[in-house]
Structure formats: structure tokens, C-alpha cells
Amino acid sequence: MLHKAEQLLRTVYGYPTFRQGQEDIISDILHRQDTVGIMPTGGGKSICYQIPALVLPGTTIVISPLISLMKDQVDALHSLGVAATYINSSLSQTETEERLRLAGNGEYKLLYVAPERLDSPRFQSLPYRVQVPLIAIDEAHCLSQWGHDFRPSYLSIVPFLRQIPDRPVVAAFTATATEEVTHDIVRLLGMSRPSLHITGFNRENLSLSVLRGVNKTEYVLNHIHHHPEQAGIVYASTRKEVDELCGLLERKGVAAGKYHAGMSDEERKASQEAFLYDEIKVMVATNAFGMGIDKSNVRYVIHYNMPKNMEAYYQEAGRAGRDGEPGECVLLFSPQDIQTQKFLIEQSVSDTERKSNDYKKLQTMIDYCYTQQCLRSYILAYFGEETASTSCDNCSSCKDEGEWTDITLEASKIFSCIWRMKERFGVTLVAQVLKGSRNKRVTQFGLDRLPTYGIMNQMTEKAISDLIHKLIAERYLAMSEGQYPVVRLLPKAAEVLKGKEKVMHKVRPAPRAVQEAGPLFERLRGLRKQLADQEGVPPYIIFSDSTLHDMARRLPRNEEEMLQVKGVGDAKFLKYGKPFLHAIGELVEGRDTSAAEDYEAGPVWRSEQAAAELKRTKSGSGGKGSHLISYEMFIQGRTVEEVAEERGMGLITIQDHIIRCAKEGLELDWSLIIPESYEGQIIEAAQELGADRLKPLKEALPDEVDYFAIKAALVKHELI
Ligand code: ADP
Ligand code: MG
């Protein structure tokens, strides 16, 4: 029989040899043995049940979760000359009846159905009319509550299997199953002594990288610019981000499309097809896109945000290079992604056990983003695969040319601080104590009296918390689960404190985003200079370089788009929006500049807050470097009120000065401005409502959170 299988591989599919695992799985199925096949995305699972279906008499039922996927598979089978069909909710009643009738006559070798269909009595009677030798369950991890993509409809498979006469062979397939999930699959399907095939998870042709602290938009644009002919997917966490990024790419002339659950079925279908047929090169999507998409020439998958867990990540990243040619998988990480994922867990999961499981999975994902180990070994170890080598030479850790440096001293300071804080607080507070912050919570708990208070004050708070995260990833420290996790010490840290072990760390120069200064940027810069001279202020007071870069990249056409540019708020827009919109309009060929004209009539106050801010900014921004003076007074220990009083300026002006300095990269003790207990809430609100307008945020937050705190939090988390 195996000989027959080989022959079919060659004649029907045109492939000379089986891939790893395929032959064994097919052989077991043909020997009537229940089988679980765990193979990476693109590993070739379909053939594992399609070939047995062709060899065995009767009709094989394939259970598959996605309607679009079924159609693709059936179309592919038709092109190979195989009699196959599908039944799902996209069909009319008459079509369904007709296909069921033909199926009852044994006209098909393969019948694809959605799990919901198994509840229908009409369908349940099918195995009485036609021989069903094999039931294949694709994406079988959907059965398990512990998997990353549980679908309750999959549970319909269980009673369906029970009532079938002459129980067929059951074969389940998935790309991602931890031990727990595999166990669930076997148990729920009532498999008797199943054979388990786990082929290597390693995909050698994929290069893996994690980039921390890069300008994400710039990175994506740059990548596409250098690979204009390649097909790629950019995954982002939210629909809003997908919309924005796709819009930006389109304006830049990139053939891009998008896909998320907020679009209509037709829109999604059109977009998916355009991508499959290479009409668009870049697909910007949420995780709604892709399960089972068999586009083999995807050359890169960029994650614009960290996904919720390793299973999701590897499955999505694995969509690159299915054809075996090199594929690039890049994860762009920023600490704010952690907040987003926690927010999503809090919003969507209510069951406590499930929640804790989700938090655990999230932590492993975070660790992946911080680890200095070989990324490939990390992934393989996560999926329970032993690796002979701890270096793959094809991931950002292995290729990192940074120098290994002894950081035992810094690590020891962190460990002893955690110890003295009795392992009861989170990363932020530990970093604040080490930094010597005067945050209320620090003093409230008397943490400023600890001997470790301020012992790392030469580093920024962000650098300290980054280091703590790395130590978590390297298992010196552990983080408890939940929304507000605390850090505690692991045995490895004790060894370091006892002086028995050293901590080594790769130090590399901070990655610098590549900024191309094109003609538009130059023109905007000229305009900025002109305005600056008129007002007698330094140019960066008007807009920073990065704002001009962002403007040159986004090419805003109207107020709304201009307000999305980083560094353009309501007040700035009122003052400078018009001339900049004009300049862009003039430079971009054929662009209608009438939107800019609307502001000719004079300022339209967008909100009282903006108006108040503007008035004060005007009176306060006269002198050169005025904001620096305020900033210095503030960091020397004066309160905002005191600075305002001494300088004879408004409170909001001084606050703006401080924020501006922070935006320009000067160091700031954020805890003096942002009440720690509200920081998470501010960021969550910004994620939900957007960071472009402050007023809705102010309204959504408790009264005691002032505009200053909101702005500061947004700057700290690089949301504006
Ligand atoms: P999976 O479902 O495991 O993600 P698919 O079944 O969609 O993967 O297969 C991925 C790609 O690999 C398809 O284009 C398929 O035709 C191809 N493929 C499968 N088996 C072989 C083989 N033995 N030789 C060459 N190509 C194969
Ligand atoms: Mg598949």
C-alpha cells in the first residue's frame, strides 16, 4: 500500500519524495491506526490525509475550521483531478442537499466540513449510506481549552465520532500542540492507542529576529523599500493599527492590503485573494488572517507587536518560506506590547484558571523577546524538542555581534534590592528604588530607607527595568502571573549573590533607526527654519526632526491626518498645521490643498484645553531654550508650581517644557509626574481610545489623573 502512496505522490502531486514524517503518518493511517500528526506550518500535513483518502475505499471526511480554507483545498484537489467537495454555511440549502446526495452515492474521495455541520442529523446519517474509512481533523488544537485557539464548535466532533457505525480511523493534525494539548486531543477523540508523530519544529530556512527599541514604522517602510518585489505579511495587534499602517503604506505607493475582523466578509475575501494572486505584495493584518493560508512564497513575516503567546507567534511567523526558500521572521518589540496583551487578557478572559494559563503563556512570549539565547533553541525547547546545538547562526541572538560583558555587579544590586523589598513588588517599583526615585509609593512603603535605594542612579529607570526583564528571561528571576505581577528570585540568583556564578550579558550599541532625508524632509526643514526665525525660537521648538520625518513619511492631507503625526498636538496644529499642510500639498504632485485652505479663516478652537495651552505656550516659549531652564529647575527638585512661580509663567507652560524635554530624550523621573497606580490605566485608555486626542482620555480616566500625567505617560510609552 505504501508503494501506492508513493506513486500517488509522484503522479497526482508531482513531488518526487515524501517530506519528514509524511511517510510514517500515511503508513500508520493505512494500517488503520489512530494517528496524531504534529508538524510545523508548511510541513505538509494535507498530503498526510489526502493520500490515504485516495488509497482507501469510500469517502474520507475532513474537519476543518475555516470556510475559505476549505474552498482553497477543494479547488487545489480539483486541479489535481481529485473528486472532492465541501459543505459549509457558505452554500445555499439546495447546494448543500445536492452535495449531500452525491456524497451519499459515494461520488467524492474527500468531503470537507466545518465542525458545526456534525450537529446536523442529516449529516449524521451520511456514514450509514457511504463507507467512511478515515476522519481527518485539521487544526486539531482547536479542540483543547488549553490550546491557543480553542473553538467550542470542535467539541461537536466528540459525539459525532461516538455514533458512527464501524468507527473509522481518526487522524488529527496540528502545527502547535504542547503536551497538555496533545493529551486533550487524544482523550477527547477517544483515540485507542494512537501513534504520535512529532516531526521537528525546526524550520531551518527561517531566520528569526527580535528587535527591541526600533522605530517600528520606519523599520517596516525600510524593509519594504529594500524588498519591493517580495510578498510579506505584517501582523499588528489591533484593527486600528492595521488600518493606520496599511493607509500609510498605500500613501507611500506600496501595493498593500489589509485583513481584520472588523471588515466585511467580501472585503476580507477580496483582500485575501489579492494577496494570494500577488496583486498586493504586503498584507497588513491582525491574527484573524492566515490560519491555513497556503501561499508558499511569503518571504517575510514582520510582527509589528508582540503576539500573545509562542504558539501564535510561531504559527504566524511560520507562514514565511513555506516553499523551503529563505524566509525572514522579525518581531518588533516594545514594552508597551506587554500592556496591550495584558489588557486583552483582562478584557476577554473571565475564567480564572484560563486567565492564569494565558498569563503564563504571555510571560514565555515576553521572555522570548528579552532572551539572549539562540531564538531557535528557545522555540524548540518550548515545544519540547531537544536541540543538539545551542547556536543556529540564523537568528538575531546568534548573529548579534555585541560583546559579552560581565554584569555580575549590576545583577547583584538588582537581586539584593528585590530581596530587601521582600519579593513583594513589580519591576517598575524595583527599578524606581534602584534609581532612587521619589515616587509616592516608594516613600509610602519606606523603600527609600533601604540600603539599596538609589544604588543604580547612574542608569535610567528604563535601562534598569530592561535589565530586570532580561534577568527574568534568563531565569535568574521569576515573575508571578496576573495583571500586576511581582518579581522574585530564583535559585540561580542566589548562586550569584553567593559569588558562585557570574552574569554575562551581550552589550551592543543601541540600534539606530535609519532616517533618510529626502527632498520633502529638506523642504519641511526649510519651512521650520523660516517660522522659527520669525518667532525667534530655535527650530526644534516648532517641530522636532522626528516629527518632520514622520510628516514626510505620512504625507498628511488634512487636519485629522496631520494630528496623527508624532509630535503634532492640537496646539501645534493650530499654530503651524496650515503652512506645513500647504508645503506637503505643493510637493506631492496633483494633491488638492483645499483642506489646508479651511484654516485660512483663523483658528478653530478644537477644545478649551488646547486653547488654554496655546495661550500659555505663546507667552512662555519666547526665550531660547526656555524649556530647558524649566526642566533643569524641575529635576533639581523644585515642583512644577515652584518653577511656574519663580519664572512667572503658567503651570501648563512649565509642564509642557518638561514634557518637551522628555520627548527630546532628556532623562526624567517619570514617577514624579505619573502616579504609578494609574499608569496602566492611562495606557489602556490610550490603547482603546487612541493617543491623538487628550480630552477623551482625560474624560475616561479618574479625575485625579491630570493632563500632565496623561501626556507624560504617553511620552514615556512612546505613544506620542
Ligand atoms: P501544512 O498544512 O502542514 O501547513 P500544507 O499541507 O499546506 O502544509 O503543505 C505546504 C506546502 O508544501 C504545500 O504547497 C504542499 O503542496 C507542499 N508539500 C507537501 N508535501 C510535499 C512534498 N512531499 N514535497 C514537496 N512539497 C510538498
Ligand atoms: Mg494545513
Residue having the nearest C-alpha atom to atom 12 of ligand 1: 44
Determine contact, residues 60/109, Cβ cutoff 8 Å. yes
For ligand 2, a single-atom ion, the residues with CB < 5 A are: 45, 292
CB atoms < 10 A from the CB of 463, how many? 14
Indicate if ligand 1 lies below 6 Å from the C-beta of 294: yes
Residue having the nearest C-alpha atom to atom 26 of ligand 1: 15
Residues in the chain: 720
Residue having the nearest C-alpha atom to atom 20 of ligand 1: 44
Q: Which atom of ligand 1 is nearest to the CA of 41?
A: 4
Alpha carbon separation from 471 to 22, 455, 461, 559 (Å, rounded):
41, 18, 15, 45
DSSP 642-657: HHHHHHT--HHHHHHH
Residue having the nearest C-alpha atom to atom 2 of ligand 1: 45
Determine contact, residues 574/614, Cβ cutoff 8 Å. yes
Determine contact, residues 25/197, Cβ cutoff 8 Å. yes
Q: In this structure, are strands 282-285 and 256-259 parallel, antiparallel, or unpaired?
A: parallel
CA atoms within 13 A on the CB side of 657: 30
Predicted confidence (pLDDT) per residue in 1-23, tens digit? 778 999 999 888 888 889 889 99
CA of 47 to the centre of ligand 2 (A): 9
CA of 322 to the centre of ligand 1 (A): 8
Indicate if ligand 1 lies below 6 Å from the C-beta of 203: no
Q: Given ligand 1 and candidates 294, 316, 323, which is best to mutate, with the most ligand atoms within 8 Å of its CB? A: 294
Task: Give the position of cell 519666547.
Answer: 622
Q: How confident is the model at residue 592, as a pLDDT?
A: 47
CB atoms < 10 A from the CB of 125, how many? 12
**Which domains does the chain carry?**
2-198 (3.40.50.300), 206-382 (3.40.50.300), 405-501 (1.10.10.10), 519-716 (1.10.150.80)
Indicate if ligand 1 lies below 6 Å from the C-beta of 530: no
CA of 43 to the centre of ligand 2 (A): 8
272 vs 266: CA distance, rounded Å? 10
Cell of 440: 509616592
Q: How confident is the model at residue 65, as a pLDDT?
A: 86
The C-alpha R_g of the chain, in whole angstroms, comes to 29
Indicate if ligand 1 lies below 6 Å from the C-beta of 128: no
Q: How confident is the model at residue 591, as a pLDDT?
A: 56
Indicate if ligand 1 lies below 6 Å from the C-beta of 295: no
Q: In this structure, are strands 298-303 and 477-479 parallel, antiparallel, or unpaired?
A: unpaired
* Below-70 pLDDT ranges, the chain: 291-294, 507-518, 589-624, 665
Q: How confident is the model at residue 492, as a pLDDT?
A: 92
599 vs 593: CA distance, rounded Å? 11
Q: How confident is the model at residue 644, as a pLDDT?
A: 87
Give the containing element (helix H, strand E) for 208.
strand 206-212
Q: Given ligand 1 and candidates 13, 48, 203, 206, which is best to mutate, with the most ligand atoms within 8 Å of its CB? A: 13
Indicate if ligand 1 lies below 6 Å from the C-beta of 39: yes
Q: How confident is the model at residue 692, as a pLDDT?
A: 80
In one-letter notation, the amino acid at residue 183 is H
